[in-house]
Amino acid sequence: MGISDKFSFRQKPTGVFKWFLKMPGYLFRAKLGFVFGDRFMLLTHTGRKSGNAFRTPLEIVVYDEETGEYIVCSGTGPRADWYRNITASPAVSIQVRNKVWAPEQTFLDPEAAAERFASYEREHPKTAARLLDSMGQSYDGSDADRVRMMANIPMVSFSSAPRSD
């Protein structure tokens, strides 16, 4: 039994909600990525079975100016297609604003993810609560339970210097 079998996650979006979530991707492709600032990125990845290129807009949970890292989490857990694809083959590129580059990616362990999420919670308590609610996740507020929870919400760090396109 895999980790996604043990824990409940929200279902993958469908219908109008799925279309709404794809809107950032359309704006990125229209060279309007600057409207999102450092809040969204467009991830280009290769399908693990098909080999096709896919583009997935993702919300940036943390942007660390010191390290140049953009950290995202998989809201539907480890079963998200984009997450499974980048575990099989590294991301092709990311786009933040109108900058595109081939990133270095690092999968955060639960302890590192919990530290990043704790920082996010301090800076954006209401948004963090809505994010957890949207993912169908919760924890008791303790550091240990936050680590337990983050074992179910994979976080990935993308870094490296962007190039202009």
CATH number for the domain including 111?
Answer: 2.30.110.10
Count of structural domains, the chain: 1
Which domain range does residue 43 map to?
A: 3-159
| Residue 164 domain flag | no
Q: Helix, strand, coil shares of the chain as percentages rounded to 5?
A: 40, 25, 35
User: ∠138-144-146 over CA atoms, to 5°?
Assistant: 30
Whether 86 is covered by a domain: the verdict is yes
Confidence of residue 13 (pLDDT cuts 50, 70, 90): low
Residue 51 carries which DSSP code? Answer: -
State if pTM tops 0.75: yes
165 assigned to some structural domain: no
Local confidence band at 16 (pLDDT 50, 70, 90 cut-offs)? low
Average pLDDT over residues 33-48: 90
Q: Is 140 exposed, middle or buried (0-12, 13-18, 19+ CB in 10 A)?
A: exposed
Write the CA distances from 98 to 42, 43, 45, 149, integer angstroms: 10, 13, 18, 33
